[in-house]
Amino acid sequence: MHKFENCLVVGISSRALFDLEEENQIFNTDGVEAYAQYQIEHENDILSPGTGFDLIRALLNLNEIEPEKRKTEIIVMSKNSADTSLRIFNSIKYYNLDITRAALVSGAFLSPYLEAFQTDLFLSANEEDVQEAINSGVAAGIIYTEHLPSEKIKEIDQIRIAFDGDAVLFSDASEKIYQAQGIEAFQEYEAKNAKNPLPEGPFAKFLKTLSTLQKQFDKNQAPIRTALVTARNAPAHERVIRTLRAWDVRIDEAFFLGGMEKQDVLKAFGAHIYFDDQAIHTDATSEFVPSARVPAKIKINEE
Q: Which residues are the active-site residues?
A: 164
Contacts (Cβ under 8 Å, ≥6 apart) of 24: 15, 125
Q: Distance (Å, rounded) from C-alpha 46 to C-alpha 30?
A: 22
256 burial class (0-12, 13-18, 19+ CB within 10 angstroms)? Answer: middle
Q: Do residues 88 and 114 touch, judged by C-beta distance below 8 A?
A: no
Give kind and range of the element (H or E) at residue 121. Answer: strand 121-124
Indicate if the alpha-carbon torsion angle 150, 164, 139, 269 is positive or negative: positive
Helix, strand or coil, per DSSP, at residue 95 = coil
What are the angstrom distances between the C-alpha of 65 and each of 15, 98, 101, 115, 245? 28, 14, 21, 27, 28
Contacts for 294-300: CB closer than 8 Å, 24+ residues apart: 294/134, 294/139, 294/140, 294/141, 294/142, 294/164, 294/167, 294/168, 294/202, 294/203, 295/127, 295/130, 295/131, 295/134, 295/142, 296/134, 296/167, 296/172, 297/134, 297/135, 297/202, 298/131, 298/134, 298/135
What are the angstrom distances between the C-alpha of 42 and each of 49, 81, 109? 16, 15, 26
- Provide φ and ψ at 280, rounded to 5°: -60, -30
